[in-house]
Amino acid sequence: MSEQTQQFASDNYSGICPEAWAAMAQANHGHERAYGDDQWTARAADHFRALFETDCEVFFAFNGTAANSLALSSLCQSYHSVICSETAHVETDECGAPEFFSNGSKLLIARTEAGKLTPASIREIALKRQDIHYPKPRVVTLTQATEVGSVYRPEEIKAISATCKELGLNLHMDGARFANACAFLGCSPAELTWKAGVDVLCFGGTKNGMAVGDAILFFNRDLAVDFDYRCKQAGQLASKMRFLSAPWVGLLEGGAWLKHAGHANHCAQLLSALVKDIPGVELMFPVEANGVFLQMSEQALEVLRIKGWRFYTFIGSGGARFMCSWDTEEERVRELAGDIRAAMEG
Ligand SMILES: *Cc1c(COP(=O)(O)O)cnc(C)c1O
């Protein structure tokens, strides 16, 4: 099987979508001012403010790890702590970067239901200890859509933010797949963020069809003070910033961000529909965004690997994650489903 064949291991196996590519090509004419002082960066920031219907502060970083880590470090001091879920990317996949960039703010793991934090699980961790010997809880971070493909409803986010207000916690959202959550719910970006009490959003571009790049949106502008210095110090200020920001213009101006996310979600729905009647195959989580998590036999997973399929199994024994992308072909989804059926029935 050639390396060009579409795979489902991650949504970042895909390439760059036409809209982002075209905008980068357009930005590649002549000279422009550097370090974000250019027209593309201004346009991208204005598109975000229009899309979110608010005058938020907008910054750009190279990837999600940097965006999350820097955003979290601006929401707390080193002696504070950050409440997250056990499956949170910040906890499991960022190599300690949030702790590193915050000079030691500890991540505290809260219980989840289908990958989601709840007011009760946040309260449990936030109120567990209130003495001087324990790092003081100061931030909650939610992932939307979650690492297991579930999506927080606006009411759930509102309930969490009410708990945060009561307990003096800032609310951060890791939106590596924020577009997929919007597409699934049919909600406006504003409804899922500041209108529901989110202070800061890291909006992922990579999995949505860009080459690189995350945008950091501060709805609570007071929290953005000196954030530009924090980015620069962390090596996240691109000198040719227009190549980070222009693709956002391409994605946002004609609605491609939502169209691509909707397509990826649709492919995940198709995959789950094609496999859910196979004896021995169980859906591990509700399929809401662009991921399908299947519990199946280890032998069947091995058969799939031998056939050349790539997928992640971080979710535990017999669990496999299949992610769909902006460019996933339905035909390839059908092939995968057919091979899963053959592997289980064979
Ligand atoms: C992909 C991803 C990120 C960003 O990861 P980078 O590799 O640093 O770009 C952040 N959060 C979640 C939930 C992700 O899936």
Give the domain CATH number at 269.
3.90.1150.10
- The secondary element (H helix, E strand) that includes residue 21 is helix 18-27
Per-residue pLDDT of the chain (346 residues; tens, 9 = 90+): 556 799 999 999 999 999 999 999 999 999 999 999 999 999 999 999 999 999 999 999 999 999 999 999 999 999 999 999 999 999 999 999 999 999 999 999 999 999 999 999 999 999 999 999 999 999 999 999 999 999 999 999 999 999 999 999 999 999 999 999 999 999 999 999 999 999 999 999 999 999 999 999 999 999 999 999 999 999 999 999 999 999 999 999 999 999 999 999 999 999 999 999 999 999 999 999 999 999 999 999 999 999 999 999 978 778 999 999 999 999 999 999 999 999 998 7
The reply to whether 235 and 279 lie within a common domain is no
Q: Is the dihedral of CA 150, 181, 160, 105 positive or negative?
A: positive
- The secondary element (H helix, E strand) that includes residue 141 is strand 136-143
Assess if residue 3 is contained within a domain. no
- Radius of gyration for the chain, computed over Cα atoms and rounded to the nearest angstrom: 20
Assess if residue 8 is contained within a domain. no
Question: How far is residue 256 from each of residues 16, 107, 209, measured CA to CA in Å?
Answer: 12, 35, 9
Assess if residue 13 is contained within a domain. no
Assess if residue 175 is contained within a domain. yes
d(CA 251, CA 249): 5
d(CA 266, CA 125): 36
For the chain, the domain total comes to 2
**Is residue 176 lining ligand 1, measured as CB closer than 6 Å?**
yes
Of the residues 209, 232, 253, which one is the last residue of a structural domain? Answer: 253
Pocket test for ligand 1, best of 172, 203, 206, 314 (most atoms within 8 A of CB): 206
The reply to whether 45 and 100 lie within a common domain is yes
The reply to whether 82 and 139 lie within a common domain is yes
The reply to whether 107 and 185 lie within a common domain is yes
CB 209 within 8 A of CB 14: yes
Q: Which two tokens stand for residue 99?
A: 């702790």
Assess if residue 4 is contained within a domain. no
Instruction: Output the CA 35–ligand 1 centroid distance in Å.
Output: 24
CB 81 within 8 A of CB 135: yes
What's the pLDDT score for residue 164?
98
For residue 117, the tally of other CB atoms under 10 A from its CB is 26
Of the residues 230, 253, 276, which one is the last residue of a structural domain? Answer: 253
Instruction: Output the CA 132–ligand 1 centroid distance in Å.
Output: 33
The reply to whether 335 and 227 lie within a common domain is no
Assess if residue 226 is contained within a domain. yes
The reply to whether 202 and 269 lie within a common domain is no
Which ligand 1 atom sits closest to the C-alpha of 68? 10
The pair phi, psi for residue 171, each rounded to 5°, is: -120, 120
The reply to whether 235 and 170 lie within a common domain is yes
Of the residues 253, 287, 302, which one is the last residue of a structural domain? Answer: 253
pTM: predicted TM-score of the whole model, two decimal places: 0.97
The reply to whether 181 and 221 lie within a common domain is yes
Give the residue from 335, 337, 324, 175 showing the smallest Cα distance to 262: 324
Residue nearest to atom 14 of ligand 1 (CA): 176
Which ligand 1 atom sits closest to the C-alpha of 88? 13
Give the residue numbers spanning the domain of 307. 256-345
